[in-house]
């Protein structure tokens, strides 16, 4: 799937899960420590939505703070997981 398509899907997912306007989000938007809505409870909800939306499974041991740095880093993580699943 094209990178921009995944970015767009991630923005919609984050917007809906965090209850914020999608216009506030872009690939460069910083997440962890930047958005007050992006707390530990939101991360759990976001991960569940990502698994459902992108048809992947995420192991706890694969998660690091760097993944949640920005919309782009979160999307790149998802794409790596999708590629691993496709093998």
The pLDDT assigned to 87 comes to 64
Cα dihedral 77, 55, 4, 78 in deg (nearest 10): 0
pLDDT at 68: 96
pLDDT at residue 3, as a whole number? 84
Residue 21: the pLDDT is: 96
pLDDT of residue 20: 96
Query: What is the model's pTM?
Result: 0.92
Whole-number Å distance between alpha carbons of 82 and 34: 27
Would you state the pLDDT for residue 1? 53
Low pLDDT (below 50) residues in the chain: none
């Amino acid at each position: 799937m094209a990178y921009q398509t995944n970015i767009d899907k991630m923005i919609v997912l984050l917007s809906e899960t965090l209850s914020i306007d999608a216009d506030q989000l872009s690939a460069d938007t910083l997440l962890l420590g930047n958005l007050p809505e992006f707390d530990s409870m939101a991360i759990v909800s976001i991960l569940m939505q990502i698994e459902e939306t992108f048809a992947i499974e995420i192991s706890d041991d694969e998660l690091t703070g760097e993944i949640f740095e920005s919309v782009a880093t979160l999307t790149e993580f998802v794409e790596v997981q999708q590629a691993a699943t496709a093998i």
